[in-house]
Structure 1
Amino acid sequence: MGKRNNDLLGIILILIGVLIFLLNTDLLSGNALLILIGVGFLVIYFIRRYIWSLISGMIIIVVGVTSIIDDAFSTRIDLAGFTFLVGLGIVFLVLYFTKRIMGFVFPGFILPAVGIYTLVSSIYTGEMSWAFFFLIGLSFYGIYIAEFMKRGNSWPLIPGTILIAFSAFLYLISKDIIKASFWKVISYAWPALLIIVGIKIIYDNVKRKA
């Protein structure tokens, strides 16, 4: 155990020394150094398999890449927000597929969906709220395929389908195909449907346990 700790300490000292050297010689920018630090954490993970170093390394790299993009592209298009959310989602997906931690599958699919929406909404100036619900709905389908399909559990398809249907209504309203008066009825109907579906899920679970 002591030998392993000494090896890890040696690796950390080498990485710190390299970073300080590069910082003093102005060979790299602060954001590039941030990415290098993240890579250092990944090196520690591949050597010692510490999960904390894997998580830290990937998040630091995402932040560094986001900062570089934010500095390089100062336009109205939200590339930095897109990069950060998609990158963070990829981090969670990597952790999900490598460590099989089920809770990571949700941010793994939902965060990239939100990231794509931030990019699309910054490019197109029209009414794009429907796209948000459509992408989140698709993310639930991805969650179902990745984790729940093999279990025979289809509950993610329920919110996914509801959100996609809701996005379709929003799209039709934005194009004046459906008038606002009809939307008024829908605005009360869809939350009522969510409540009914939720009650049914709870009832089925209680009935199954009884």
Structure 2
Amino acid sequence: MCEIEYKKHYYPKSRTQLLTVLKNSLSLKRYQHLLGVEQAALRLAKLNHEELEKASVAALVHDYAKERTTTEFKKVILEKGLEHDLLNWNNVIWHGVVGAQIIKDELKITDEEILNAVRKHTVGAADMTRLDKIIYVADFIEKGRTFPDAKLARTVAYADLDSAVSFETKHTLQYLMSANKVIYPAAILTYNKWVVEN
């Protein structure tokens, strides 16, 4: 059980109130995933000297928009003047990039570092803050993940955060290529920076 109290107002209410909003907005499976990501993010935050409250908020809201409809995402892209190319993608990309806008509007979270961590949690970025990396990795290694090498991914993550970013990025791109799936351009930039250059 997480005992973090929200004192810095990254989220305008308490953690308990945020959990209630999330529980009422999402499926049970998605809600449990958020709790798992928060648990992993808090452990990574402690190991990497990141602010726990900020890691908690970012982890809990990272998939807030995951279950929205295509119509809703496209409406937000158009109404908020987001990058027009986003219309050519899908929920995999939208729930991070467009989801950050939904989080800002609906949950009144305005901290740009938290919103950027949400934007980057699916495909990473060449330039990532410590919080970006923590949410990116925590989403990959949370206890509900059962993919091959999940245990190894956790071992790597809790030993070295940058190595975990590299491991995750390589693993994800290998999967996308083996499945002949389209790769979002930012994911290639993430790969070049964190796998090739490191």
TM-score, normalised on structure 2? 0.32
User: If the length of structure 1 is used for normalisation, what is the TM-score?
Assistant: 0.30
More helix by share: 1
